[in-house]
Amino acid sequence: MSTRIKIKALLESTQTDIDVTVKGWVRTFRNNQFIALNDGSTNNNIQVVVDFENTDPALLKRITTGAAISVFGHLVPSLGKGQSVEIKAKTIEILGDSDPEKYPLQPKKHSLEFLREIAHLRFRTNTFGAIFRVRHSLAFAIHKFFEERGFVYLHTPIITASDAEGAGETFHVTNFDLNNVPKGDNGEVDFKQDFFGRSANLTVSGQLEGELGAMALSDIYTFGPTFRAENSNTTRHLAEFWMIEPEMAFADINDNMDTAEALLKYVIAYALDKNKEDIEFLTQRLLDEEKQKPQNERSEMTLTEKLQFCLDNNFERLTYTEAIDILKESTPNKKKKFQYLVEGWGTDLQSEHERYLVEKHFKKPVILTDYPKEIKSFYMRQNEDGKTVAAMDILFPGIGEIVGGSQREERLEKLEQRMDELGIPKDELWWYLDTRRFGSCPHAGFGLGFERLVLFVTGMGNIRDVIPFPRFPKNAEF
Amino acid sequence: MSTRIKIKALLESTQTDIDVTVKGWVRTFRNNQFIALNDGSTNNNIQVVVDFENTDPALLKRITTGAAISVFGHLVPSLGKGQSVEIKAKTIEILGDSDPEKYPLQPKKHSLEFLREIAHLRFRTNTFGAIFRVRHSLAFAIHKFFEERGFVYLHTPIITASDAEGAGETFHVTNFDLNNVPKGDNGEVDFKQDFFGRSANLTVSGQLEGELGAMALSDIYTFGPTFRAENSNTTRHLAEFWMIEPEMAFADINDNMDTAEALLKYVIAYALDKNKEDIEFLTQRLLDEEKQKPQNERSEMTLTEKLQFCLDNNFERLTYTEAIDILKESTPNKKKKFQYLVEGWGTDLQSEHERYLVEKHFKKPVILTDYPKEIKSFYMRQNEDGKTVAAMDILFPGIGEIVGGSQREERLEKLEQRMDELGIPKDELWWYLDTRRFGSCPHAGFGLGFERLVLFVTGMGNIRDVIPFPRFPKNAEF
């Protein structure tokens, strides 16, 4: 018997009239004759033709949806449409049965909500097979992009004692028996007795540590999990998600925008190339889904067109101030259709405003820069106007903010002054300030939310569907 | 002024007699004339020659170790030895000063212990620059290896409610105010009120979830952080470390060994090729370090030779039972030099035994297979002999276990029986057992400790020196 060949390779093979072995899971079995077999290497199935007249009926009965089988047979050109080759089975071996009465994944359409409850099995559907292969390609393309540009992949810590960034609520990490947390004489928790000898959290961002690397290695990036203990049950938030955070020494906000735009285009192009069939499948899925919506709520472009459009057009770059002017004069603002009316400079932009700019006004990805310092983080570089900082956010259609970044404040005095203003403890961040004390230089970086990128490229609507096992309030199953 | 060129590219350039701009950090400044400049893109510095007679003395004074500068000048062939080009400076700009009285990194040899305390600055040393560039290359090569073989990169969850594997003590993750943990009527912690509605931990392994992916996508791998709340202060353990865990459907223990050996050779070869200068530097560093040891404690091979040796030789494969026979008959066992004498079959191997096999007996990497089931995990496939499981550990010189893996128990009945024997709650792992209920198949996988791999390839002796910000008992700084 020949070695197993993956179905992707078989379907791409130009050779026929050879014996092959394939292994995979039965998707369907029609007329006791045609097995659609999938092994996850591609969205497509290979058709296995069973000589049912000469096959033990007891075996035929075990060829059920979900069963794992090994097939040895002859590869021949296919007469069926949509496939170039098929296998005439010589022997079929059942590796693992799947009781059709009990198997949760029936050969019919299941709701995404239901599939979320059986996340351990949803990999076996067309939709989730495609999503996770695309997710893989996007992750690989990110590493490849940075490798080609000489960035060093830095594993910044997941457990951290610093919560100085104040990016949101953090999860505590502790070794204490929670039934019996040790207290000191003052009645407060005695963290000296905890594993790390101090209070520790899960990281909300690797940026500050990433900057330490960049101030020696020039260009670094992180790609790791980050955490927010926010009680938000939305289609855009997870308690555990993956972020990519590049940090570049000797770079300003323009270099930052150029790198972020190049990165996004590079990885989308990579997935379009490597995952053509998956993205075609997801495009059709979205079309089918949108058929249930009224005409005016459907996308103007298909998923594939939208991705291609991103590659073919420069992202629109404008300042926050210019965006406010556009929004103030916009029809939905004048007609009071916005939930939050845009009345003046200084206000934070809401999702509805971002969507208006991206989806209605510019109809393409937008990079907003130079936000009011009051609505941005302490580490962003203060502009000469005394009012704004060199921040930049990239807004994507249907997603909103996909990238947030800035040139960093490299001037010790300005940085310390801003930390004082915001009450950020300087002694806790002594190491961060040290980089401004010794050989500081202009530098910039950004954070890319990986799941939001996967959402965009797969056309899915809920962030819980683009990570294998989503973590959100009251859910840590699997 | 021309765009900045990275020093690595400059030193590889064959073109001279051109104007260039470089930016980096001053390593040394000799005789008011020769700046050794480094930007982290390579271990090598570029020499910048200063026309000190025509340079403002105030500027000269600011060219100190650690200062960030921008240099515009003329690239010319170098007369100095060990470098092909140098830059005759036309203008030098100080981007960030570094007060020589205060800068912790003096141009002298610092101990690794001291550098660990200033981990935010140690990236700026030759040793740590080399380590983190090598670490990057190893990480990239891992992704590349799997991408070429059609594996899907799966992000398994970091926060998990299941502690069923029992791999060690876990860290609790909670949203509770630790000063005031809510208790139920029974006086026990009321986890229903916690963020996830149940007790949650940091993952010790992504394997079980990885298997779920493999049972649909065929070949997957994880590469993420894992955690152990063990109070061990050794040179081989961290509380937070990174693991690579491939999982392959339709694969047995031999496929598993083949893949693991191919992976290790692939990534070592990649680093040797891409990081030639870094590894040469680390080789010399190790030679210098070992000069302080007595002759008989020094390595027989240099670091580079050791790495090359790994590529050129098949790993020795033998069973646990064969290994026990060798150990029983070994000189240190007979002369009672082992701390733990090997008296018979069934005992777990200690580090001294593994090192004897690898470093003295075979003098090469060793793969041990078919361990007694009592000393291995519940999910490993039970061999026909009723005594052993299809486990495989790869042992490396100086490191010990670098890979641990097995063929997985795919037979529901055998798996449940073993779980019952070990008291592992089946209801908590309903999703894991489901994969054996529906379309089970032979499959295998392993875990590779990333930091142990980096230790091996860099020749470093302490695991805290190969991860940017190590986490261990009583330490979560930075």
For residue B93, what are the domain limits? 7-107
Q: Which two tokens stand for residue B168?
A: 């060690």
For chain A, how many structural domains are there in total? 2
Backbone angles phi, psi at B146, to 5 degrees: -75, -35
Q: What is the interface size between A and B, counted as CB pairs within 8 Å?
A: 339
Q: Per mean pLDDT, which range of A158-172, A245-259, B11-25, B418-432 is the poorest? A: A158-172
Pick A96's closest partner by Cβ from B188, B439, B477: B439
Q: How many CB atoms are closer than 10 A to CB A140?
A: 21
Pick B123's closest partner by Cβ from A179, A200, A217: A217
Residues from chain B that touch A197, judged by Cβ atoms under 8 A, are 473-476
Cα A83 to the center of its chain, rounded Å: 32
In a shared domain, residues A403 and A444: yes
> B174 and A174: CB-CB below 8 Å?
yes
Using the 8-state DSSP alphabet, how is residue B179 labeled? T
> B159 and A216: CB-CB below 8 Å?
no
CATH number at residue A154: 3.30.930.10
Q: Where a domain ends, among A107, A132, A153? A: A107
Mean pLDDT to the nearest integer, B218-227: 98
pLDDT one-digit tens code per residue, A304-357: 999 999 999 999 999 999 999 999 999 999 999 999 999 999 999 999 999 999
pLDDT one-digit tens code per residue, A273-290: 999 999 999 999 999 999
Q: B192 burial class (0-12, 13-18, 19+ CB within 10 angstroms)?
A: exposed
Q: Is the pLDDT of residue B354 over 90?
A: yes
Task: Say if residues A70 and A92 touch (Cβ distance below 8 Å).
Answer: yes
Q: Residue B119: inside a domain, yes or no?
A: no
The rounded distance, in Å, linking the Cα atoms of A19 and A2 is: 7
Task: Say if residues B414 and B440 touch (Cβ distance below 8 Å).
Answer: no
Q: Which two tokens stand for residue A313?
A: 């057009």
Task: Report the residue of A218, A228, A273, A475 to disrupt the B interface, i.e. the one with the largest count of B CBs within 10 Å.
Answer: A218
Q: A351 burial class (0-12, 13-18, 19+ CB within 10 angstroms)?
A: middle
In a shared domain, residues B390 and B419: yes
What element of type H or E holds A344? none
Q: Is the pLDDT of residue B165 over 80?
A: no
In a shared domain, residues A78 and A128: no
In a shared domain, residues A102 and A134: no
Mean pLDDT, chain B, rounded, equals 95
Pick B218's closest partner by Cβ from A39, A471, A477: A39
In a shared domain, residues A57 and A129: no
pLDDT of residue A385: 98
CATH number at residue B11: 2.40.50.140
Q: ipTM greater than 0.95, yes or no?
A: yes
pLDDT one-digit tens code per residue, A221-276: 999 999 999 998 999 999 999 999 999 999 999 999 999 999 999 999 999 999 99
Q: Residue B326: inside a domain, yes or no?
A: no
In a shared domain, residues B281 and B250: yes
In a shared domain, residues B379 and B299: yes
Pick A478's closest partner by Cβ from B135, B139, B431: B431
In a shared domain, residues A236 and A303: yes
Q: Is the pLDDT of residue A165 over 80?
A: no
With CA atoms as reference, the chain B residue closest to A467 would be B155
Q: Is the pLDDT of residue B166 over 60?
A: no
Residues from chain A that touch B475, judged by Cβ atoms under 8 A, are 196-197
Task: Report the residue of A41, A133, A136 to disrupt the B interface, i.e. the one with the largest count of B CBs within 10 Å.
Answer: A136
Q: A383 burial class (0-12, 13-18, 19+ CB within 10 angstroms)?
A: middle
Using the 8-state DSSP alphabet, how is residue B116 labeled? H
In a shared domain, residues B67 and B160: no
Angle, vertex CA A87, rays to CA A124 and CA A101, nearest 5: 40
The model's pTM is 0.97
Q: Residue A118: inside a domain, yes or no?
A: no
Q: Residue B253: inside a domain, yes or no?
A: yes
> B469 and A156: CB-CB below 8 Å?
yes
pLDDT of residue B300: 85
Task: Say if residues A351 and A370 touch (Cβ distance below 8 Å).
Answer: no
Residues from chain B that touch A198, judged by Cβ atoms under 8 A, are 476
pLDDT of residue B10: 95
> B200 and A161: CB-CB below 8 Å?
no
Q: Is the pLDDT of residue A82 over 60?
A: yes
> B224 and A229: CB-CB below 8 Å?
no
pLDDT of residue B331: 97
Name the one residue in this structure whose structure tokens are 């893109």. Answer: B41
pLDDT one-digit tens code per residue, B270-324: 999 999 999 999 999 999 999 999 988 888 899 999 999 999 999 999 999 999 9
Per DSSP, the three-state class of B341 is coil
Band of residue A167 on the pLDDT scale cut at 50, 70, 90: low
pLDDT one-digit tens code per residue, A357-414: 999 999 999 999 999 999 999 999 999 999 999 999 999 998 899 999 999 999 999 9
The rounded distance, in Å, linking the Cα atoms of A18 and A74 is: 6
Mean pLDDT to the nearest integer, B111-127: 97
pLDDT one-digit tens code per residue, A406-445: 999 999 999 999 999 999 999 999 999 999 999 999 999 9
**Pair type for strands B316-319 and B366-372:** parallel
Band of residue B13 on the pLDDT scale cut at 50, 70, 90: confident
Q: Residue B427: inside a domain, yes or no?
A: yes
Instruction: Give me the helices (H) in A330-449, please.
Output: 331-334, 351-355, 412-422, 430-437
Q: Which two tokens stand for residue B219?
A: 């070949």
Q: Where a domain ends, among A107, A139, A159? A: A107
Q: Where a domain ends, among A82, A107, A132? A: A107
In a shared domain, residues B86 and B136: no
Q: Find, among B158, B156, B249, the residue nearest to B210 by Cα.
A: B156
Name the one residue in this structure whose structure tokens are 């291609």. Answer: A308
Task: Report the residue of A217, A259, A381, A440 to disrupt the B interface, i.e. the one with the largest count of B CBs within 10 Å.
Answer: A217
Q: Residue B181: inside a domain, yes or no?
A: no
In a shared domain, residues B265 and B208: yes
Partner residues linked to A248 by β-bridges: A219, A444
> B209 and A175: CB-CB below 8 Å?
no
pLDDT one-digit tens code per residue, B48-75: 999 999 999 999 999 999 999 999 999 9
Residues from chain B that touch A439, judged by Cβ atoms under 8 A, are 25-26, 66-68, 95-98, 124
Name the one residue in this structure whose structure tokens are 């103030």. Answer: A328
Q: Find, among B401, B464, B408, the residue nearest to B441 by Cα.
A: B408
Q: Residue A39: inside a domain, yes or no?
A: yes
Mean pLDDT to the nearest integer, A56-74: 97
In a shared domain, residues A93 and A155: no
Q: Residue A412: inside a domain, yes or no?
A: yes
